[in-house]
């Protein structure tokens, strides 16, 4: 892993361990078991005659710094849902993205669509707390995990009734995602080792993803042309954050969905 990805993953794990010192694993497991059943994310994101969008609640990023204040993430998420988003992504990493599990819980209580926990997940505790907070999906970044960890976490996500969004950036990472028989695979145009962008990467890699897998294009979306580019390359879903939090989200979603 790169220094930045190592930093993000290690920091998220440290923060999870601090929460675990306050709320033991057994208590979080009980809360996960008591939570309402997760929504079927694969059904919500299934291929259709138009592109689908996962709209992201995103305050900041390491590459761009502060993006938006977002004092009420649930309100923003409700705008996303009303604007046609098929799912909501909530960044819960606190150090560099300024998110939290409280954001996810608030969003989940407000919107009728599936909710993704987007974080640097490397510990089963984080999966249980995602479910306890109401998550329907959990992001698993192939580059941040060895294959044993990836298999363990994907299995746990599945056992808890959620869906893994397994994210790859290279052909080798995509092979590892496919080895899991993952049904929701994201290709991230952003290289998490350098944070550089390559909008054409999705088209390069997605042709090897078999039928029956929902294909998600992530990052490098500034306008409708970018969404159209991904759609033409075979994307079923596009995950969008920055372009939505820095604009009027409903009108922007309408423009993106019209491609």
Mean pLDDT of 234-252: 95
* Active-site choice (93, 129, 173, 218): 218
Q: What is the pLDDT of residues 74-95, one digit of tens each?
A: 999 999 999 999 999 999 999 9
Active-site hit among 188, 206, 215, 242:
188
User: Does residue 10 carry a pLDDT above 80?
Assistant: yes
**Residue 191's pLDDT band (boundaries 50, 70, 90)?**
confident
Calculate mean pLDDT across residues 153-166.
98
Contact 68, 99 (CB under 8 A): no
Catalytic residue among 52, 58, 108, 215: 58
Catalytic residue among 52, 98, 108, 118: 118
Catalytic residue among 93, 167, 173, 242: 167
Are 187 and 206 in contact by the 8 Å Cβ rule? The answer is yes
Assess whether pLDDT exceeds 80 at residue 193: no
pLDDT over 90 (residue 204): yes
Q: Residue 167 catalytic?
A: yes
Mean pLDDT for the stretch of residues 116-143:
98
Q: Which of 122, 164, 206, 219 is catalytic?
A: 219
Query: Could you tell me which of 248, 251, 242, 241 has the C-alpha nearest to residue 53?
Result: 241
The better pLDDT of the pair 4, 75 is held by 75
Across 191-224, b (16+ Cβ under 10 Å) vs e yields: bbeeeeeebebbbebbeebeeebbbbbbbbbeeb
Whether 194 shows a pLDDT value over 80: the answer reads no
DSSP string, 8-61: HHHHHHHHHHHHHHHS-HHHHHHHHHHSPPPP-HHHHT---SS-EEEEEE-SEE
pLDDT at residue 180 tops 50:
yes
118 is a catalytic site residue: yes
Q: How confident is the model at residue 1 (pLDDT cuts 50, 70, 90)?
A: very low
Per-residue model confidence (pLDDT) at position 139? 98
- Taking all residues of the chain, what is their mean pLDDT, rounded to a whole number? 96
How sure is the predictor about 64, in pLDDT bands with cuts at 50, 70 and 90?
confident
Active-site residue, from 52, 56, 164, 215: 56
The answer to whether 56 is a known catalytic residue is: yes
Q: What is the pLDDT of residues 226-241, one digit of tens each?
A: 999 999 999 999 999 9
Q: In the chain, what percentage of residues exceed pLDDT 90?
A: 92
CATH class of 4-258: alpha beta
Look at residue 195 in the predicted model and tell me its pLDDT: 77
For the chain, give every domain's residue range: 4-258
Q: In this predicted model, what pLDDT tens digit does every residue of 102-120 receive, in sequence order?
A: 999 999 999 999 999 999 9
Structure confidence by residue, pLDDT tens digits, 19-34: 999 999 999 999 999 9
pTM of the predicted model as reported, rounded to 2 decimal places: 0.96
């Amino acid at each position: 892993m790169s220094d930045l990805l190592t930093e993000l993953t290690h920091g998220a794990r440290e923060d999870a361990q601090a929460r675990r010192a306050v709320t033991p694993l057994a208590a979080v497991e009980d809360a996960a078991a008591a939570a309402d059943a997760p929504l079927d994310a694969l059904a919500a994101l299934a291929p259709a005659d138009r592109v689908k969008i996962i709209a992201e609640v995103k305050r900041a990023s390491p590459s761009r710094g502060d993006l938006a204040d977002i004092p009420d993430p649930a309100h923003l998420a409700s705008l996303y849902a009303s604007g046609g988003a098929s799912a909501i992504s909530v960044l819960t990493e606190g150090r560099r993205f300024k998110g939290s599990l409280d954001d996810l819980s608030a969003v989940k209580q407000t919107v009728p669509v599936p909710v993704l926990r987007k974080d640097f997940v490397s510990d089963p505790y984080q999966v249980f707390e995602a479910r306890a907070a109401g998550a329907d999906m959990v992001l698993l970044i192939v580059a941040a995990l060895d294959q044993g960890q990836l298999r363990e976490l994907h299995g746990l996500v599945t056992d808890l009734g959620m869906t893994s969004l397994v994210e790859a950036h290279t052909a080798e990472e995509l092979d590892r995602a496919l080895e899991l028989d993952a049904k929701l695979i994201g290709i991230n145009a952003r290289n998490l080792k350098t944070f550089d962008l390559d909008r054409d990467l999705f088209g390069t890699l997605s042709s090897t993803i078999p039928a029956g897998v929902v294909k998600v294009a992530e990052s490098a979306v500034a306008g409708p042309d970018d969404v159209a580019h991904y759609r033409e390359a075979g994307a079923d879903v596009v995950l969008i954050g920055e372009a939505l939090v820095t604009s009027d989200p409903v009108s922007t979603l309408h423009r993106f969905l019209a491609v």
